[in-house]
Copies of this chain bind each other. A is one copy, B any other.
Amino acid sequence: MSLQNAILGLLTYGPITGYQLKSVFDEFINHFWSAQLSQIYRDLGTLERKGCVSYHIEVQEGRPNKKIYSITEKGRKAFQEWLEHYPRTLFTAARDEICVRIFFGSRLSTEEVKEQLQKYKREVQEQLAAYQVMEGALKQMPCNRPEDEFFWRLTLKKGILLGEACIQWTEECIKEMEQREEI
């Protein structure tokens, strides 16, 4: 449901193609929601069948024609309705494969577990670095308005805090494993 709502939300900034939506997702949304192009096209189709979006075709030479999507009045209402109503439960812990691995950590050697934690830590650090880039890129976001940018920064902030917590966790895991080995 949230991908369709995110698409509707982005359409409130102005008309856009599916292809462009994908790059907005990759650049600015990726830290809390990702989307494949195929899924975006499918959901745009679904939204169109529901009457939440419409499109017009921009004819191009030498490339496929563009389908430029706009949000309809119905779409605006549906989005606003969704946004105003916080669901009964929203916070459900994410599916987290590294935890599945660590849960069964006794099936691996201490060294193997530590290596996996190190790999994980490196991935998180790379993400944090990517967030730095993102922070700088926010200004380039199409249709940037300061009242929006304020909230975009808050979502980035969450990515950073969570990433830092992940790194702290890997460090504590390794420390505890080393203390355990000494005994």
Contacts and interface: CB of A to CB of B under 8 A. Distances in A.
23 contacts: A2-B100, A12-B104, A31-B93, A32-B94, A32-B103, A33-B100, A83-B101, A86-B116, A90-B98, A91-B127, A93-B159, A94-B94, A94-B96, A96-B158, A102-B154, A103-B155, A105-B150, A106-B145, A106-B148, A157-B169, A161-B168, A161-B172, A164-B165
Interface stretch (A14-22, A43-51, A62-70, A117-125): A117-125
Contacts of A106: 145, 147-148, 150-151
A129 interface: no
Number of copies: 2
Interface residues of A, number: 67
Q: Is the interface of A mostly helix, strand, loop or mixed?
A: helix
B93 A127 contact: yes
A172 to B, nearest CB: 6
B95 A34 contact: yes
A105 B169 contact: no
Interface of A: 2, 5-6, 9, 12, 29-34, 79-80, 83-84, 86-87, 89-108, 112, 115-116, 119-120, 123-124, 127, 145, 147-148, 150-152, 154-155, 157-159, 161-162, 164-166, 168-169, 172-173, 176, 180
